[in-house]
Amino acid sequence: MTIRSVSFFIFLILTVGGVIFLSALRPVAWPYLAEAKKIDIQSGMGLREISAGLKASGLIHSRLAFNMIAVATGNASKLKPGKYTLSSGNSSWTILNYLVLGADPEVEIKIPDGASVYQIDGILSEADVLSPGQLIAYTKSSKSKLEGHLFPDTYRFFTSSTAEEVIAKFLENFDQKAKPLFGNTTGVLEKELTLASLVEKEVPVFSDRQIVAGVFEKRLRENMPLQVDASVCYVKQVRAGK
């Protein structure tokens, strides 16, 4: 084999290898077929672990190609932990840049006492945690009763979270801080939550709430109508969808 033949053969191998390598860095999906994927990079995860997660989530074609460009660009140790929303329509180069820049920002949200699911939906959508109406739609489709369990407190959420992630954080907080107060008696929890919500809406002064709660409980025992404005307002809010 002549020197020219060897040179051509090496050139051919390098060309084909380069094409294969660049092809491995292309987006997994065409833009109109792309999907948003959630990926959580934990503190302490290395490049190999991260690329394995990206591959498993359908965000990159090749772990090897991703690892190679991360090392070649000097970014292998610069990938930041956090929760990301990435598109399968992004190339490996773009995904690498996102991981170097950092995760979706985290925002602090205060849920006030007595806030309905409609008000909470508005608070979360205004902070870009969820899209408008996303929390309402989730609570309506859920088999579990969620309203009353969205414990008022200060939370930290990532922007562009899913409804499942938001609800999970609410319920975890409720189980830790509120549920132990109701004991284990069947049916007590939902009854007391409903009554507490009505009292909170009806009576603004905390010192008066205990008295009013006692009046409501007496009416319930005697099968009398509660005649509470808050219940009527809530029905109107549900019908209006806000």
Return the closest-CA partner of residue 94 out of 42, 59, 63, 62: 59
pLDDT of residue 57: 93
Query: Which region, left, alpha or beta, applies to residue 44 given φ > 0 means left and ψ of -120 to 50 means alpha?
Result: left
Percent of the chain scoring above 90 in pLDDT: 30
Task: For residues 199 and 211, give the distance between their C-alpha atoms in angstroms, rounded to a whole number.
Answer: 10
What does the pLDDT average to over 215-226?
61
- Looking up tokens 């009554």 gives 195
pLDDT of residue 84: 87
Q: Which amino acid is at 192?
A: E
- Measured from the Cβ of residue 116, the count of other Cβ atoms closer than 10 Å reads 19
Return the closest-CA partner of residue 88 out of 30, 161, 21, 20: 30
Task: For residues 215 and 209, give the distance between their C-alpha atoms in angstroms, rounded to a whole number.
Answer: 10
pLDDT of residue 236: 42
pLDDT band at 67 (very low <50, low <70, confident <90, very high): very high
Query: Which region, left, alpha or beta, applies to residue 22 given φ > 0 means left and ψ of -120 to 50 means alpha?
Result: alpha
Task: For residues 15 and 22, give the distance between their C-alpha atoms in angstroms, rounded to a whole number.
Answer: 11
Task: For residues 130 and 151, give the distance between their C-alpha atoms in angstroms, rounded to a whole number.
Answer: 17
Task: For residues 150 and 109, give the distance between their C-alpha atoms in angstroms, rounded to a whole number.
Answer: 13
**Better-predicted residue by pLDDT, 64 or 160:** 64
pLDDT tens digit string along 145-197? 787 788 889 999 888 788 998 999 999 998 888 777 766 555 556 666 666 66
Q: Judge whether residue 32 has pLDDT over 60.
A: yes
**Better-predicted residue by pLDDT, 116 or 8:** 116
Q: What Cα–Cα distance (Å) separates residue 222 from each residue in 106, 218, 219? A: 49, 6, 5
Q: Judge whether residue 77 has pLDDT over 70.
A: yes
What does the pLDDT average to over 58-64?
92
pLDDT of residue 238: 47
